[in-house]
């Protein structure tokens, strides 16, 4: 009996691994990367650059499986006015995975290598959504001479865990965590419908590409989430942008019922979180002497999808400020 069960499990795992390999082959065949694949020292990063002009706007996604497609409603509009680049971090979508820790240091140096090896030049305007905020702050910390301005789109704050800890609780499921360790067997792809949120702001083909690469991307997403405390801690060591133009966009729409359930909080607690979030976002605006804080009363966290025009307007405002500025970058 025991031998029979073991044989069945081995067959199931072997079949799942073959299914996963086949799915990865189909994803690469059916959904080639937009832009190009850039070598960053034995690994490849997907980099999609459009438009002409200076400064170059670089988009950084948040904790998401979408990679560069996070910005599909924003980048083409900004590219009408200047050079733009979006990319997928290591392990997301088309980009090769990395064995190094998914921390700010690696993310910043990966992006710097991708831009340099891809032939892109500064000055740069960095746009970071959610966890992408700490990532672009980290890039500015390491490569500040290249960075002329920033836009933070409902960006994570270094102190958010401590400030919100008394209100929210952990929402990751044991099922999703276990699936990551078995990703190669096809287990993660099998439960993908339960992990991916319903609905999409994406065009059908982009949504299909995200679904096709999601099993691979979710592994990286959870790796990034595992080190989020250290990511925020390092982000907290750099909070001075000098007089670089900065716009902070803050989502202030009340949490939806599904969001409240995911965070395991009540509507009253949700309002408390929003109040704390507004304070944290205002603090982010204080990091530059040339900042503007814009509250978005009808937008949720994914402002770049719910109100892409507002993001485009903010990015172009910073682009214009950089073009008209003679301030020495710090």
Query: pLDDT band for position 259 (50/70/90)?
Result: confident
Q: What is the pLDDT of residues 82-127, one digit of tens each?
A: 999 999 999 999 999 999 988 999 999 999 999 999 999 999 999 9
Q: Is residue 8 part of a domain?
A: no
Residue labelled with tokens 């989020």: 228
How far is it, in rounded angstroms, from Cα 88 to Cα 45?
7
How far is it, in rounded angstroms, from Cα 101 to Cα 229?
13
Q: Is residue 156 part of a domain?
A: yes
How far is it, in rounded angstroms, from Cα 268 to Cα 298?
18
Q: Is residue 183 part of a domain?
A: no
How far is it, in rounded angstroms, from Cα 70 to Cα 110?
18
Is the alpha carbon torsion for 4, 8, 11, 13 positive or negative?
A: negative
pLDDT at 13 exceeding the cut of 60: no
Residue 245: predicted pLDDT: 98
Q: Is residue 21 part of a domain?
A: no
pLDDT at 178 exceeding the cut of 50: no
Residue 321: predicted pLDDT: 98
pTM: 0.83
Rg over CA atoms, the chain: 20
Query: pLDDT band for position 208 (50/70/90)?
Result: confident
Residue 173: predicted pLDDT: 42
Residue 237: predicted pLDDT: 95
Which residue range(s) make up the domain with 73? 35-170+201-323
Residue 222: predicted pLDDT: 87
Q: Is residue 265 part of a domain?
A: yes
Residue 2: predicted pLDDT: 58
Q: Is residue 254 part of a domain?
A: yes
Three-state secondary structure call for residue 44: strand
How far is it, in rounded angstroms, from Cα 188 to Cα 203?
24
pLDDT at 310 exceeding the cut of 90: yes
pLDDT at 308 exceeding the cut of 80: yes
How far is it, in rounded angstroms, from Cα 149 to Cα 162?
28
147-153 and 84-88 strand pairing:
unpaired
Q: Is residue 147 part of a domain?
A: yes
Other CB atoms within 10 Å distance of the CB of residue 216:
23
**CATH number of the domain residue 89 falls in:** 3.40.50.1820
What domain count does the chain have?
A: 1
298: its two tokens = 């009808």
Question: Are residues 264 and 168 in contact, defined by beta-carbon separation less than 8 angstroms?
Answer: yes
Q: Is residue 249 part of a domain?
A: yes
């Amino acid at each position: 009996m025991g031998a029979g069960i073991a044989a069945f499990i081995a067959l199931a795992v072997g079949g799942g691994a073959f299914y996963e390999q086949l799915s990865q082959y189909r994803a690469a065949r059916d959904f080639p990367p937009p832009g190009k694949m850039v070598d960053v020292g034995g690994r490849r990063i997907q980099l999609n650059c459009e438009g002409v002009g200076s400064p170059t706007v670089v988009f950084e996604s948040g904790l998401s499986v979408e990679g560069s497609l996070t910005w599909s409603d924003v980048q083409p509009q900004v590219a009408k006015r200047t050079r733009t680049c979006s990319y997928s971090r290591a392990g997301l979508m088309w980009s090769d995975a990395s064995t190094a820790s998914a921390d700010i240091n690696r993310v910043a140096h990966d992006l710097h290598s991708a831009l340099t090896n891809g032939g892109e030049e500064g000055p740069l305007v960095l746009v970071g959504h959610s966890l992408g905020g700490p990532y672009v702050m980290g890039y500015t910390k390491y490569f500040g001479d290249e960075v002329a301005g920033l836009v933070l789109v409902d960006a994570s704050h270094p102190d958010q865990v401590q400030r919100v800890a008394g209100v929210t609780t952990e929402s990751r499921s044991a099922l999703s965590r276990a699936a990551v360790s078995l990703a190669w067997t096809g287990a993660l792809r099998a439960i993908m419908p339960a992990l991916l949120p319903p609905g999409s702001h994406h065009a059908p083909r982009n949504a299909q590409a995200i679904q096709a690469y999601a099993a691979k991307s979710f592994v990286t997403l959870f790796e990034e989430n595992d080190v989020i405390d250290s990511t925020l801690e390092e982000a907290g060591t750099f909070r001075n942008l000098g007089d670089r133009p900065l716009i902070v966009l803050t989502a202030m729409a009340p949490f939806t019922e599904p969001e409240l359930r995911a965070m395991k909080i009540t509507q009253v607690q949700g309002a408390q979180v929003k109040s704390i979030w507004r304070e944290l976002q205002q603090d982010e605006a204080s990091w530059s002497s040339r900042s503007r804080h814009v509250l978005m009363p009808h937008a949720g966290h994914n402002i770049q999808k719910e109100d892409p025009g507002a993001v485009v307007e903010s990015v172009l405002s910073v682009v214009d400020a950089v073009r008209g500025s003679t301030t020495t970058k710090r």
